[in-house]
C-alpha cells in the first residue's frame, strides 16, 4: 500500500472523530447556558485532542484490517493449493 493511502485512512477517521467531538461539546455548552468563548475554547481544544486520537485510532484500525485480510488470503490460498494437490493426485 502506498504511504499516501495510509495517511488518508488516518486523516479521514481523525476528521470525523474531531468533528463529532466539536459538535457534541458545542451543543453541550450551549444547552448548559455557558459562555460563548468558554464553549468555543473547550470545543476547539476537544477538536484538536480528538483529531490526534482519531489519527492514531484510524491507523490502528487500518493495520488490523490489513493484517486480518492478509491472514484470510493466506488461508484461502493454502486451501486452494491443498485442493489442487488433492485433485491432481487422485
CA nearest 66: which of 4, 6, 3? Answer: 6
- Residue 59 and residue 5: Cα distance in Å, rounded? 11
Element (H, E) at 54: helix 36-89
- At residue 2, the pLDDT reads 54
HEC string for 9-41: HHHHHHHHHHHHHHHHHHHHHHHHCCCHHHHHH
Confidence of residue 6 (pLDDT cuts 50, 70, 90): low
Confidence of residue 4 (pLDDT cuts 50, 70, 90): low
Site of grid cell 457534541 = 24
Mean pLDDT of 47-64: 94
The 10s digit of each residue's pLDDT in 28-50 is 999 999 999 999 999 999 999 99
Q: Is the pTM of this model over 0.85?
A: no
- Residue 40 and residue 50: Cα distance in Å, rounded? 15
Amino acid at each position: 500500500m502506498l504511504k499516501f493511502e495510509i495517511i488518508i485512512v488516518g486523516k479521514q477517521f481523525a476528521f470525523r472523530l474531531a468533528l463529532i467531538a466539536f459538535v457534541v461539546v458545542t451543543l453541550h455548552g450551549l444547552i448548559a447556558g455557558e459562555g460563548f468563548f468558554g464553549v468555543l475554547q473547550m470545543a476547539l481544544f476537544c477538536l484538536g485532542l480528538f483529531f490526534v486520537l482519531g489519527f492514531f485510532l484510524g491507523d490502528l484500525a487500518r493495520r488490523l484490517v490489513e493484517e486480518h485480510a492478509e491472514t484470510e488470503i493466506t488461508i484461502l490460498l493454502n486451501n486452494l493449493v491443498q485442493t489442487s494437490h488433492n485433485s491432481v493426485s487422485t
